[in-house]
Structure 1
Amino acid sequence: MADDPVERQLLGAEPALTRVEVAERAGVPPEVAQELWRLLGFAQQDDDAVAFVEADVVALRQAAELVELGILSPERQAALVRTWGRAFARLAEWQSTLLADVAADRGDLPELLPELVGEVVPKVEALQGYVWRRHLAGASARLFADGAPPDADALPLAVAFVDIVGFTSRSKELDERELVAWIEHFEAECSGIVVDHGGRVIKNIGDEVLFVVDEPTAAAEATLLMAARGDDGHDDFPQVRAGLAYGDVVARLGDVFGPTVNIASRLTSLARPGTVLVDRGVHDALAETDGLTFRRLHRTSVKGYAHLQSWALRRARD
């Protein structure tokens, strides 16, 4: 294998071990090691390929210890490890591109990139650990809010989808850099609004953001704010439409599932530009809330729901 200074710096050593040797040193069956490697999304290596370092041995041994502790039980192992792999793969792709752009702007890429990696990566690694711990503390606080973990698999949440209006036509007018900047601005602004209202962004899906909030009132305020900003000609926030539903939601590995999520998605597809549509759960929870009005719409047939009832949500002054 050709010597790669960036790879050597990131891995802490030059690869000197094969997959079989890593499994032997970690005390893990080779087939188990190979499956974990595959679930993490790493490229498969031949048995005789020298592609591993001592850090791989430590990581594999720690994974085996988590299995023994029950954290990586057979039921959770594949889904959890696969989620790790997807999340960090996306993060690594973005960060490596960012580092390469910075190095290219400073001068000669091959010479400066290893130096930049050595300078930046330890700081990014420490910051990622801090962010993870803070999110873990927040998630634990929500989970154990009543002093004990919830017995039910599903918890009541307000679920919202917010979708950019006219994304396809607008994207054709922008070059690649402009499109990325536009989407990143939309995601950043949405994230700020959601956090300010006590919510959590679940994921960004191209021109759409999915988020949840514990309280339907705060979720309504967040979606109405996004819609109002999109309708403001002096605001560079894009015009949007939104669907908001409230009810039991199954949360698993950072994602959300269930009829409430499906209904919020269907409502978004029905909403007109600048409009927030809500389901019966939101209507019943907020019907008596000052400052909000509801306009009942005709029942609509959408995928999975033959007669979906919805309401257009507005601020009273509108």
Structure 2
Amino acid sequence: MAALLIGELPHLTRVQVAERAGVPLDVAVTLWHQLGFPHHSDDDVAFTEGDVAALRLTSELVGMGIWSPESQAALVRTWARSYARLAEWQTSLLAGLVSDVGEPATALTDLAGDVLPRVEELQTYVWRRHLADAAQHLLEDEGVLTAAETQLSVCFVDIVGYTTHSRGLDGTELVAWVDGFEQDTAALVVDHGGQVIKTIGDEVLFTVADPAAAVTVAMALTARGEDADDPFPAVRAGIAHGAVVRRLGDVFGTTVNAASRLTSAARPGSVLVDAGVHEALAAHDADPGGAEAAGWRWHRVRRLPAKGFTHLEAWRVRPPRNDG
């Protein structure tokens, strides 16, 4: 199985790999640790020519100035977390497909041989498409090229009563419920030009350049959660707009913290926004083609205790009045 998945049988020690790649052993060991690979002694035969090539490529990228030692460490750790989760999910999927057969090991090997090349090709395609999309966003936002910060709307969408509701579901039902929440939220975010940064159990964090788009998504999701006939869970949301630091697919800064605090303070089924969002959208009241054409209503929240903030201004966004 190892030979099938890796491409060849392990036949090298880590000392031999480092020597062939022309990289100091301590550098190679540090890289493997950052990738989250199991520890091996100098005598363990656990590596292949693929490890030699990967180590050599890493050294070449550092030599070209593409990676500093610090950025290499951060990027490799990000890869390790992402691919470890992906690999765990994929093997669980394969295991589920062969769980009913008489000899799981043989069936898993046969299935992996058929599936692996296709999955690998598809993953490369998905990566390149996302790379092209990210590069296009970079070119469109010239400020990103010259500054460490960029202006974004940051939104957290949080399932209300997750712990209580999840207790009444078995494992399969819980996974289906959370997957439905994540899929529907991600689809709506992408449709409005946003990007899902990460999912945190019962919460989704996304960003979008346009605060109107962030509010539109949040209002649509909370409305779905309030519909008793819709299986989408009840949610609440918090949105802040301002300077954000992007790093390795994640976002950081006071704006992110503000959005998190607003979400925690929001009532079930409601959307709270900060002054940045309110100022960007409420100023267009008189513009027939502006964001306020949606008819949103604003209610100032007078007191909002928020850890880490002396005074976090907040507004509750409400749907338009139904005059009919």
Show the counterpart of 1:94. Answer: 89
Does residue 112 (structure 1) correspond to residue 116 (structure 2)? The answer is no
Q: What amino acid sits opposite 2:317 in the alignment?
A: L
SS of the aligned residue for 2:229 comes to coil
Does residue 250 (structure 1) correspond to residue 245 (structure 2)? The answer is yes
Q: Distance in 2 between matches of 1:236 and 1:147?
A: 41
Choose the corresponding residue for 1:135, options 126, 130, 139: 130
Show the counterpart of 1:53. Answer: 48
Percentage of matched positions with identical amino acids: 57
Is the CA contact 2:158–2:203 (under 8 Å) kept in the aligned structure 1?
A: yes
SS of the aligned residue for 1:301 comes to coil
| Length-normalised TM-score, structure 2 | 0.94
Query: Where in structure 1 do 4 or more consecutive aligned residues deviate above 2 Å?
Result: 105-108, 146-150
Q: Distance in 1 between matches of 2:57 and 2:169?
A: 46
Is the CA contact 1:300–1:306 (under 8 Å) kept in the aligned structure 2?
A: no
Deviation, structure 1 residue 112: 0.3
Q: Distance in 2 between matches of 1:105 and 1:224?
A: 44
Deviation, structure 1 residue 12: 1.0
> 1:36 and 1:190, CA in 2 relative to 1: closer, same or farther beyond 3 A?
same
Q: What amino acid sits opposite 2:5 in the alignment?
A: L
Show the counterpart of 1:305. Answer: 309
| Length-normalised TM-score, structure 1 | 0.96
Does residue 126 (structure 1) correspond to residue 126 (structure 2)? The answer is no
Q: What amino acid sits opposite 1:292 in the alignment?
A: W
Q: Distance in 2 between matches of 1:159 and 1:147?
A: 19
Q: Distance in 2 between matches of 1:292 and 1:231?
A: 17
SS of the aligned residue for 2:43 comes to coil
Q: Distance in 1 between matches of 2:173 and 2:144?
A: 45
Q: Distance in 2 between matches of 1:292 and 1:53?
A: 60
Q: Distance in 2 between matches of 1:158 and 1:29?
A: 44
Choose the corresponding residue for 1:185, options 161, 168, 180: 180
Choose the corresponding residue for 2:167, options 161, 168, 172: 172
Q: Distance in 1 between matches of 2:211 and 2:321?
A: 20
Choose the corresponding residue for 2:267, options 261, 272, 278: 272
Does residue 296 (structure 1) correspond to residue 303 (structure 2)? The answer is no
Show the counterpart of 1:158. Answer: 153
Deviation, structure 1 residue 106: 4.8
Q: What amino acid sits opposite 2:306 in the alignment?
A: V
Show the counterpart of 1:3. Answer: none
Question: Which stretches in structure 2 are left out of the alignment for 5+ residues?
Answer: 286-291
Deviation, structure 1 residue 149: 5.4
Q: How many correspondences in the alignment?
A: 313
